[in-house]
């Protein structure tokens, strides 16, 4: 695998062996500054590391500058059509911008953007989107939309490379998982720039989460992707949560606790759904009084002794139903047994021992 280059945005490294960064995009309108700030606060609490903000008009310059000055999360301004907006975003303090050189206002305008980015140390993200491919690009690629995505990225990349500009992140995204996979595999083999990955317009809720996990999980498992966004219809914080869940499932990054639970079957000794919900309520109650389980802590909820300590031996703490009640275990070793009637008290006490102050 090729060693990837890196860039820095707001002091945070992207690529070059850094963790795969988690992004989102503001869904509040830029003119509603207070809503934007509230959304940014929620995203920061969720662990978001970079936020893209649509900047469609110069009239919103003061709003953008306010956001940049009042949040700790690095802001990437999303620019289309006008090079003057890109220049304004940089002068307003944005450490990164996303542009499409193909729709910038002339080569002279693009050159002024590149010069300003060099001078100010601003990172430029370029990228193709499956929905914005031209008929010419698709025809040139023989109808292969993945190849057309690669072609579109390379068309955008050329003027930056010719200007000896290296602080670049590249991206090729589509709502098609297969097109996204192939395009990014090709780009990763040709270039060492950090790569931003995502499945565009993935959809709402569970449907969007599964589609994103299918595509992004495959890319990440191959070592492709230095920064990612899960594009969901809904709360931007959910995008961040799903992104971390995907990374946690692959063993790339751990955030929050990891709740392991069996699906339940005819062998179960307890109601697994109720036990899992009770466990989550206990954890939420501990957090409400300032006690938090360590990042990446594993809690297992198992329905019977078959799936109990042995199947969940890696868990930091676990509970399983037994014929006579329950068993509590730590890394596969039994630490307590009892009747179901006192399970909640025992589990709460046990979990409390592992908490740290928030």
- Ordered DSSP codes for 4-19: P-EEEETTEEEETT--
CATH number assigned to the domain with residue range 258-357, chosen from the 4 options 1.20.1300.10, 3.30.413.10, 3.40.50.620, 3.40.50.2000? 3.30.413.10
Specify whether the CB–CB gap between 69 and 62 falls below 8 A.
no
Predicted local confidence at residue 106, as pLDDT: 73
In the chain, CATH 3.20.20.20 sits at: 6-249
Predicted local confidence at residue 2, as pLDDT: 58
Predicted local confidence at residue 219, as pLDDT: 98
Evaluated on CA atoms 274, 301, 247, 19, the torsion sign reads positive
* Cα 224 to Cα 217: distance, rounded to the nearest angstrom: 10
Evaluated on CA atoms 88, 92, 93, 96, the torsion sign reads negative
Over the stretch 308-324, which tens digit does the pLDDT of each residue have?
788 888 899 999 998 88
Specify whether the CB–CB gap between 122 and 95 falls below 8 A.
yes
Residue 314: Cβ within 10 Å count: 12
In the chain, CATH 3.30.413.10 sits at: 258-357
Predicted local confidence at residue 284, as pLDDT: 87
Specify whether the CB–CB gap between 241 and 46 falls below 8 A.
yes
pLDDT tens, per residue, the chain with 358 residues:
556 799 999 999 999 999 999 999 999 999 999 999 999 999 999 999 999 999 999 999 999 999 999 999 999 999 988 899 999 999 999 999 998 876 666 788 899 999 999 999 999 999 888 888 889 999 999 999 999 999 999 999 999 999 999 999 999 999 999 999 999 999 999 999 999 999 999 999 999 999 999 999 999 999 999 999 999 999 999 999 999 999 999 999 887 778 889 898 888 888 899 989 999 999 888 888 888 888 888 999 999 877 778 888 889 999 999 888 888 999 888 888 888 888 889 888 988 888 887 6
Percent of the chain with pLDDT over 70: 98
Specify whether the CB–CB gap between 126 and 170 falls below 8 A.
yes
Q: State the chain's maximal CA–CA distance in angstroms.
A: 78
CATH H-level superfamily of 6-249 = Dihydropteroate synthase-like (3.20.20.20)
324 closest CA partner among 311, 310, 340, 308: 340
- Would the pTM count as exceeding 0.85? yes
DSSP 19: -
């Amino acid at each position: 695998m090729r060693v990837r280059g890196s860039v820095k945005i707001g002091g945070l490294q992207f690529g070059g062996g850094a963790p795969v960064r988690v992004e989102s995009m503001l869904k509040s309108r830029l003119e509603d500054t207070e809503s934007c700030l509230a959304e940014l606060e929620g995203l920061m609490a969720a662990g978001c590391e970079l936020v893209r903000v649509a900047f469609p008009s110069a009239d919103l310059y003061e709003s953008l500058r306010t956001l940049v000055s009042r949040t700790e999360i690095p802001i990437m301004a999303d620019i289309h059509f006008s090079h003057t907006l890109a220049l304004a975003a940089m002068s307003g303090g944005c450490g990164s911008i996303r542009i499409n050189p193909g729709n910038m206002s002339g080569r002279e305008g693009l050159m002024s953007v590149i010069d300003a980015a060099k001078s100010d140390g601003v990172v430029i993200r370029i990228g193709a989107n499956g929905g914005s491919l031209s008929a010419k690009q698709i025809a040139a690629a023989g109808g292969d939309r993945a190849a057309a995505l690669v072609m579109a990225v390379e068309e955008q990349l050329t003027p930056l490379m010719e200007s000896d500009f290296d602080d670049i992140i590249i991206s090729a995204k589509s709502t098609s998982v297969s097109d996204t996979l192939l395009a990014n595999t090709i780009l990763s083999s040709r270039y060492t720039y950090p790569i931003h990955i995502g499945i565009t317009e993935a959809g709402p809720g569970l449907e969007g989460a599964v589609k994103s996990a299918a595509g992004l999980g495959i890319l990440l498992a191959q070592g492709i992707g230095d920064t990612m966004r899960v594009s969901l219809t809904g709360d931007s914080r959910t995008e961040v949560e799903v992104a971390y869940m995907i990374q946690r499932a692959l063993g790339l990054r751990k955030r929050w606790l990891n709740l392991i639970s069996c699906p339940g079957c005819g062998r179960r000794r307890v109601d697994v759904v109720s036990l899992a919900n009770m466990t989550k309520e206990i954890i939420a109650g501990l957090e409400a009084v300032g006690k938090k389980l360590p990042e990446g802590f594993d809690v297992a909820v198992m329905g019977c002794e078959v799936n109990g300590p042995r199947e969940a031996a890696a868990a930091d703490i676990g509970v399983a139903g037994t014929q006579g009640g329950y068993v509590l275990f730590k890394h596969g070793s039994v630490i307590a047994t009892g009747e179901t009637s006192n399970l909640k008290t025992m589990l709460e006490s046990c979990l409390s021992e592992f908490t740290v102050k928030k």
